[in-house]
Structure 1
């Protein structure tokens, strides 16, 4: 039985006259309490659990699509995060380091702050870019997205995306000169 037909059937069975407000009108909210005690509320979590249990498992192609759609934006975010952090940290260390004593870790922390601010700012642009690329979630029911396999594909896509993006975002390290900076004593 198609899961939406099952939900409609279940809703119809529950609403057949017992799902009424205290004024006698049919209630449109599952779980609304009737003070007269003429019906027993069905918890929303139980109903959601039953829908997920009845859901058809997604195909391998749908799982791959979920993985890919979640990975691509995180590649972009990981790249931007590391790239901006390294560039900002290096700039802060080389420019502010002349005026105040600043450790490499302090410069990295300030660079990370700037990177996080830029990441929040650029999140909408990354999402818009993904839409321009035509990335869309596969056509599945909401219950199918709640299955463990779908959530696992989504999580692994994000993990792999952020890992690849962060590794690519480390490319400025090839260009940064690591020679010791001249000091006033030299």
Structure 2
């Protein structure tokens, strides 16, 4: 105890100024950060001093000390105040033996539940990782194929309808109103988008009629990263393939140069006839 008394500045401990600084309005001791640090260093350097202090505390103070220490150890420093309030059910500074037993029982139960949840989450993650690694590459290829086929239809329909509708608008509506090629293409895209929404379910049902025999996957395997990326890559490749195939109508339509040459030829033929 002499070592603790040494941390109090000399000549101040008996003065009125020390009494006002050391006590709050309610008479509760208040130490500065430097004094707290020195006190902690003393207690950590000699465990016997800590035992002597705890032995001199009254029963209620020891219970508060155990509650604070257990709360910090089990639930973190931020939850210490909450646990102290939880233990003092009678809303005062006194923690009775009954309050302490009730808090300790609840704290042990909540701590056990947290540990069980951590173990369960760790086992589930481990099971998912193991299941993810056990998915063979042949199964992943099937997953990518089944995920990509509908997008082939979507991409083909979208691009082909946009080209055909844009060309039709360019030769009719756009010709009379002097619309640019991009304007006609944008209006054609509106048509292809509306048509795609109407045929959305039809394409999926058509793909399902192929009845591909995809190997059965467990729930953990379906949630695995490899299966997810297989479906994602399959859909990406499928939409790219469909969009490329949707450009086929460009081979069947006359280009602007061909149209101009044909128009010039027709005009020349009419001029010669006249």
Q: TM-score, normalised by structure 1?
A: 0.69
Equivalent residues of 1:55, 1:144 under 8 A apart = yes
Match of 2:190 among 90, 102, 113: 113
**Aligned ranges 1:132-147 → 2 under 5 Å:** 132-135=209-212, 137-147=214-224
> Aligned residue for 1:55?
131
**Structure 2: 5+ residue stretches without partners:** 1-105, 268-274
Q: 1:138 to 1:121 in 2, by over 3 A?
A: farther
Match of 2:142 among 34, 50, 65: 65
Count of aligned positions: 147
1:127 to 2:181 alignment: no
SS in 2 for 1:134: coil
For the residues of structure 2 that align with 1:136 and 1:103, how far apart are their CA atoms? Answer: 49
Match of 2:175 among 84, 98, 101: 98
For residues 104-147 of structure 1, give each alpha carbon's deviation from its aligned partner in whole angstroms, at most 9, with x where no partner exists. 11111111111111111111001110111113653101221222
Structure number with higher helix proportion = 2
Taking only aligned residues, the RMSD between alpha carbons, in angstroms, comes to 2.6
1:89 to 2:166 alignment: yes
Q: TM-score, normalised by structure 2?
A: 0.48
Q: Higher Cα Rg: structure 1 or 2?
A: 2
1:158 to 2:197 alignment: no
> Aligned residue for 1:24?
none
